[in-house]
Chains A and B, each alone.
Chain A
């Protein structure tokens, strides 16, 4: 194999020989450099390949043919192979990307670039401390040269700051090295490690200086103004190198010298990493310059990695895999993002909306951001999971908290950015930048990201549990995105159907899972049917929708916490992209995503705490929580409730569901919300009926559920926007469900499942139809509708049926829920919550009437006289669902009996006794079938009677009404709809003052103010930045070495 020494030979040989090329042969010079980089990449790559096939062993390369420590030696082990490969790939691609810029500016920067990449290689490989220093200096100087690539005063200033700061840092490093030599008698790193530096003051000072120098090289927050300015001012192509290659190198160097310093600094490393991670991300929240933002994000990521390095003792041999998984995500994502930034050439992230003109870049952009946030299927996901679960297992809860907090703050701005790019008005990006050699590197980095994710998945021990089939299918659809809707729709329905059948036998023995599988996938198919009504191509709709549905399916089939969470995240991502499709839904999708991510992190924290009990990582481990059970259950419950939008976590829902596309609303409302329900079901089942450690929690959650119901129904009653009304009603319904499940009795769970099914059925119908109507009439406001019953009788009937179900009016299935609820509450003895629930149940009538009346009844508006019935493609699924309702209503036993048997093992089986079709609880009895028959007959008789009496009733015109002796002259003045519950609002409106919303808003403001405070640090003055560096060193010194 080619010795890595030739990396140096190639680089320097070519660099030196470039002097021969004058202006004329610049391109030739460029090609030469390209070849050089190829060669270097080849050398490192071939070593990497050898290591992966175990055909290579950890080798030392001696220079000058003498043994270390007397001569400098380079090491080529697995780590070096991996990292040099990464660096060289970044260098190679970066060169391809910058080819024009670099070569048209003459030979000099070509030389610099080559030496720059080489220096990182050597500093990665060398085992000699001083040699390390030398090549670090080369790196610094080369970078200071590359900054000049763009001829702007900002660049010059940034370069100056960078030079001075790193000059100081290397000065301290030099002192450290010489003192290490003084105490260790050698410059060879391995010798110094053997010399056990932790003894003796001089060596510990030496250790400190070396450590602090390498830490500062990583630009830790807050002493990093000089570094951030480089990111900001340098050419993005260079920024990508700094973020991807230099940071990678720096981290490894830190890792390399850490043993010299000894373990006593680990805790400080953790602290430093934490500060950098959280602080820098906090700064990021206020950035709108893409490069600067990326800079802060890089610092944050590196901080996280530093923290992990500091945790090495407790992570053990997990450390490097975790670090690598996060590092490689950061590496690929940051490089890609910076390169994109170079294509867009703008100082404001809002201008990135131009990306939409290139689907591929758009996809990659999203992938990069999600990879940074640690979403599946990207490598960092596995790393974070391992990290947090190990930490939880070691009961290092503060670490869990820090990591999650920092990641969340990062999500705040990355998600905002994503939203801008997806939604804002498109700003054209300079076409001439969309050349192959500028895009190809980005593509490759994207591929690297996905491939690495796949490898990670296969390498780690959960790999088997992850099903890649859906992802492939989704990718296929993404490729076929140019096809018309009808085709893609059919394909998607086929996919869901196939997957449903494919999964069915995995859940044959588990009715609960079957129910949810039906809700998710069959429901998905039904909602897709409505998609046939859509015109155009709907770019990007089907991949995301399928991502959500497959994620949902995965949640059901998940056996362990890992694949549960994996699919949970997939579902979250998919639903986010679905929701943000609506016209005005950018802010709502944003808040949805933040709440989802927050919830997901709570789940993660819950799982991490659960790991502490050492019951394994299967979902059944939740049944055996011995350590902090109340916390585990609480975190998980709240995490799930962020999806079910319970009181306090509900503010995202009205907007997200209200503004979503007409056929997306039913997906996210009727189906997606059930994911949270399923989570709660799984959680509560594993908590078990009599679990003293959860009593209090369940009681509180019960109240939350009840209050959610009241709040939801009341707010719904005061809405004028039809879809928001439905959204609030969803909040309320989920409140019922939560309340039912918290009671933990068989009766209550029957009620809960009845509600779940009903809500699925009627909310799908309502959102399908109301959504379609809203599109047809072009307004969300109900008071602008009216009289639609004349135009859309079928829609009216469908809506009528569903509101009868919601109201719980006999004989339809809604009443089953109410009846079960009464019995359950009386059995459980939660009388007052119960009273609250029933009160809100009646409040529901307010919005139900408002909905059906304002839309379908009352006065038809003049501008709607031409309106026709909505598309059959919307009515078909609705009526299929109505059939479901009718069956459930007429034969409740056929549904309830199996369910009660399915949950009997958990709660005993004493809730209901069935006499034929009659259900008998120990309190009362109810016979759905008979009721249906009796009511039906009576109704028919009365109808017949009326018809007999008034057969000759004649149809009259709209305005053939008389009130108080005036004749109506316009529908608007006669259609009583706007704010019809004014009186009610006057009486009890205070109950729905939006305290929660204002609370969250204030939280957001505080966070941003905190971030704004950081402006004081980044004054832009060279001097202040140097002072920060000194300050950092001094404080660190006094804290760590103050003992002396």
Chain B
């Protein structure tokens, strides 16, 4: 394995790029949402301002060790995802530490951050946090069903679980993209993505003005800053995951930025159109069409 300093530094660089792109992307998205609902929205540089404010907040309180560690776990979840994700196909610099695990690792590493966050928020003792978490978990169980089916379908299709291999198989022409070679899997995955990104109608976890902002309610200042940072990284990385699996990956940062933008935009687009589900509705919804499509996507390969 390659533990060299250069790799470490390159990874940090990649992380920096991803983080900033993530923040820019989120501000852009919020502007779009605002425009749709007839407002002007925030300036594009708002996230940086927020971040600086949060990190420089003077008074901070903690509810205990786990509360303190919660954000660390959370950020570790995002960063870890990034670390194990080959970002730029063919670039020896930005394949990060993806040699230490394949798709399965990515899938299961998502839980790392979530769990830490849940525990941290849990120690906060804030009822809304608990409610948010319970909703999140409930919904997440079924979000993963179509995703799992899609992944299985991919694994059958490409007979591998290595992301790099999957990307490689999609090179050449657009026609090689999974989007076209395995449309059902793609659809199933993209539907589950809606839940994963947690925009309306699936934004039950943070559910603005229902339970203030769910799990992070008690977090503020540096902690919230850490969480925000993580959010930025996570969005891009997850989008990158879908990009790698279904949209031919990226051979350059530009390609990555474009593709991730549109993948993320898809969830926002749906979000502005549909109102929020209730928890049982969302759970049932994922078990209906997306699951069905996922099953089909496997059946056609059997």
Taking the complex as a whole, does A directly touch B, i.e. does some CB pair lie under 8 Å apart? yes
Q: Which residues of A are at the interface with B, using a C-beta cutoff of 8 A?
A: 787, 789-790, 793, 796, 800, 803-804, 807-810, 815, 818-819, 822-823, 825-826, 829, 831-832, 834-835, 838-839, 842-843, 845-846, 849, 852-853, 857-859, 916-918, 922-927, 930-931, 933-935, 938-939, 942-943, 946, 949-950, 952-956, 958-961, 963-964, 968, 974-977, 980-981, 983-984, 986-988
The smallest beta-carbon distance between B67 and chain A, in angstroms, is: 9
* Chain B residues within an 8 Å CB radius of A925: 99, 101-102, 162
Q: Which residues of B contact A822 (CB under 8 A)?
A: 104, 155, 161
The answer to whether A930 and B1 touch (CB under 8 A), given A953-B68, A963-B217, is yes
Are B125 and A823 touching (Cβ within 8 A)?
A: no
Q: How far apart are the CA atoms of A762 and B131 in the complex, in Å?
A: 27
Question: Are B278 and A983 in contact, with the CB atoms below 8 A?
Answer: yes
Contact among B72, B119, B161 with A852 in the assembled complex (CB-CB below 8 Å): B119
9 A–B contacts from the bound complex (CB under 8 Å): A789-B65, A790-B64, A815-B105, A835-B152, A852-B122, A925-B99, A925-B101, A983-B134, A983-B279
Whether B221 lies near A950 (C-beta < 8 A) is yes
Most buried by A among B71, B103, B161, B225: B161
Q: Tell me, in angstroms, the Cα distance from A796 to B122 when the chains sit together.
A: 13
Chain B's interface size range is: 35 or more
Q: Is the CB of B135 within 8 A of A939?
A: no
B299 → chain A, closest Cβ, in Å? 9
**B99 and A927 within 8 A (CB):** yes
| A-contact 0/1 string along B254-269, CB 8 Å cutoff | 0000000000000000
Asked if A954 and B283 make an inter-chain contact with CB atoms under 8 angstroms apart, the answer reads: no
- Which residues does chain B contribute within 8 Å of A986, judged by CB atoms? 279-280
A846 touches B137 (CB 8 A): yes
Known: A927-B99, A974-B125. 4 other contacts (CB 8 A): A842-B144, A946-B71, A987-B281, A987-B284
Binds A, one of B18-26, B28-36, B107-115, B175-183: B107-115
Contact (Cβ within 8 A) B302 A926: no
Measured in the bound complex, the distance between the Cα atoms of B62 and A953 in whole Å is 6
* CB-based contact B137/A924 at 8 Å: no
Report chain A residues within 8 Å CB of B131: 976, 980
Determine how close the nearest CB of chain B comes to the CB of A264; give it in whole angstroms: 61
Residues from chain B with a CB closer than 8 A to the CB of A977 are 130
Is the beta-carbon distance between A923 and B152 smaller than 8 angstroms?
A: no
B122:A839 contact, CB within 8 angstroms? no
Q: A792 to nearest B CB, angstroms? A: 13
Among A838, A842, A857, chain B packs the most CB atoms within 10 A around the CB of A857
Within the assembled complex, what's the spacing in Å between the Cα atoms of A100 and B11?
95
> Distance in Å from the Cβ of A826 to the closest Cβ of chain B?
5
Q: Contacts A939-B72, A949-B222, A984-B141 given; indicate if A924 touches B127 (C-beta within 8 A).
A: no
Interface pair A956/B100, CB less than 8 Å apart: no
Is A984 a contact of B68 with CB atoms below 8 Å? no
- Type the 1/0 row for B183-211, where 1 means its CB is closer than 8 Å to any CB of A: 00000000000000000000000000000
A849 CB contacts on chain B under 8 angstroms: 115, 118-119, 122, 133-134, 137
**Could you tell me which B residues sit within 8 Å of A by CB distance?**
1, 3, 55, 58, 60-66, 68-69, 71-72, 75-76, 79-80, 83-84, 97, 99-105, 108-109, 111-112, 115, 118-119, 122-128, 130-131, 133-135, 137-138, 140-142, 144-145, 148-149, 152, 155-156, 159-162, 212, 217-218, 221-223, 225-226, 278-281, 283-284, 287, 294-295, 298, 302
Q: Are B283 and A988 in contact (CB under 8 A)?
A: yes
B108: which of A796, A808, A960 is its contact (CB, 8 Å)? A808
**A807 & B60 in contact (Cβ 8 Å cutoff):** no
Distance between Cα atoms of A980 and B127 in the complex (Å): 11
Measured between beta carbons, the chain B residues less than 8 angstroms from A930 are 1, 97, 99-100
Candidates A815, A931, A946; contact of B72 at CB < 8 Å: A946
DSSP majority for the A interface?
helix
Is there contact, CB below 8 Å, between A857 and B280?
no
Q: Complex Cα distance A980/B152, Å?
A: 31
Other-chain residue from A800, A832, A858 in contact with B298 (beta carbon distance below 8 A): A832
B101 touches A964 (CB 8 A): no
Contact B159 A981 (CB under 8 A): no
Provided the pairs A946-B222, A950-B222 are in contact, do residues A987 and B161 lie with their beta carbons within 8 angstroms?
no
Whether B152 contacts A826 by the Cβ 8 Å rule is yes
Q: For A955, list chain B residues within 8 Å (CB).
A: 61-64
Which residue in B130, B135, B225 is a CB contact (below 8 Å) of A858? B130
Q: How far is the CA of A843 from the CA of B148 in the complex (A)?
A: 13
Q: Are A800 and B125 in contact (CB under 8 A)?
A: no
Smallest CB separation, A817 vs chain B (Å):
11
Q: Which residues of A contact B1 (CB under 8 A)?
A: 916-918, 927, 930
A809 B108 Cβ-Cβ under 8 A: yes
Q: Give bound CA distance, A981 to B136, whole Å.
A: 10
Q: How far is the CB of A814 from chain B (nearest CB, A)?
A: 9
Indicate if the CB atoms of B66 and A954 lie closer than 8 Å: no
A residues within 8 A CB of B119?
A: 800, 849, 852-853, 857
In the bound assembly, the distance between CA atoms of A926 and B105 in angstroms comes to: 8
Instruction: Given A853-B130, A942-B72, A950-B221, verify A858-B125 contact (CB < 8 Å).
Output: yes
| Shortest Cβ distance from residue B20 to the other chain A in the assembled complex, whole angstroms | 17
In the assembled complex, which residues on chain A have CB atoms less than 8 Å from the CB atom of B3? 933
Q: Judge whether A923 and B159 touch: CB under 8 Å.
A: yes
B211 to A: closest C-beta gap in Å: 9
Question: In whole angstroms, how far apart are the Cα atoms of A987 and B3 in the complex?
Answer: 47
Which residue on B lies nearest to A985, using beta carbons? B280
Give A979 Cβ to nearest chain B Cβ, in Å: 10
Complex contacts, A787 vs chain B, CB 8 Å: 125
Q: Distance in Å from the Cβ of A216 to the closest Cβ of chain B? A: 65
What is the CA–CA distance of A271 and B108 in the complex, to the nearest angstrom? 61
Flag if A950 contacts B223 (CB, 8 Å): yes
Q: Measured between alpha carbons, how far is A935 from B138 in the docked complex, in Å?
A: 27
Question: By the criterion CB–CB under 8 Å, are A845 and B80 in contact?
Answer: no
Q: Which of B134, B140, B155, B162 has the most CB of A within 10 A?
A: B134
Q: Smallest Cβ distance from B112 to chain A, in angstroms?
A: 5
Q: Within 8 Å CB of B294, what residues of A?
A: 835
Decide yes or no: A976 and B130 within 8 Å by CB, A954-B61, A955-B62, A984-B279 being known contacts. yes
Residues of A within 8 A of B156 (CB): 826, 831
Contact between chains at B159 and A953 (CB < 8 Å): no
Q: Are A952 and B60 in contact, CB atoms less than 8 angstroms apart?
A: yes
10 closest cross-chain pairs (CB), A and B: A924-B161, A983-B279, A924-B102, A857-B122, A976-B130, A987-B280, A987-B283, A930-B100, A984-B138, A950-B222
Residue of A nearest to B110 (CB): A809
CB distance from A885 to the nearest CB of B (A): 16
Q: Of B127, B142, B212, B295, which is in contact with the most chain A CB atoms at under 10 Å from its CB? A: B127
Residue of B nearest to A796 (CB): B66
> Which chain A residues border B76 with CB–CB below 8 Å?
935, 938-939, 942
In angstroms, Cα B69 to Cα A986, docked, is 33
Report which residue of A834, A859, A983 has the largest number of chain B beta carbons within 10 angstroms of its beta carbon: A983
Contacts A838-B144, A846-B137 given; does A954 touch B60 at CB 8 Å? yes
Q: In the complex, how many angstroms separate the beta carbon of B116 from the nearest chain A beta carbon?
A: 10
**Chain B residues whose CB sits within 8 angstroms of the CB of A815 once the complex forms:** 105, 108
CB distance from A973 to the nearest CB of B (A): 9
The answer on a CB contact under 8 Å between A924 and B103 is yes
Complex alpha-carbon distance, A832 and B292, angstroms = 12
Contacts of A934 in B (CB 8 A): 80, 83-84, 97, 100
Whole-angstrom distance between the alpha carbons of A963 and B213 in the complex? 11
B226 touches A845 (CB 8 A): no
**Which chain A residues border B61 with CB–CB below 8 Å?**
953-956, 960
- Bound-state CA distance A956–B68 (Å) is 12
Bound CA–CA A129/B248 (angstroms) = 99
Given contacts A839-B144, A950-B60, A983-B279, contact A857 B161 (CB under 8 A): no
Return the chain B residue nearest A973 by Cβ: B127
Residue of A nearest to B54 (CB): A949
Partner of B141, one of A839, A961, A964: A839
Min CB gap B274→A, angstroms: 18
Contact residues in A for B145 (Cβ distance below 8 Å):
835, 839
Q: Which residue of A lies closest to B129 (CB)?
A: A976
Most chain A CB atoms below 10 A, which of B128, B156, B280, B281: B280
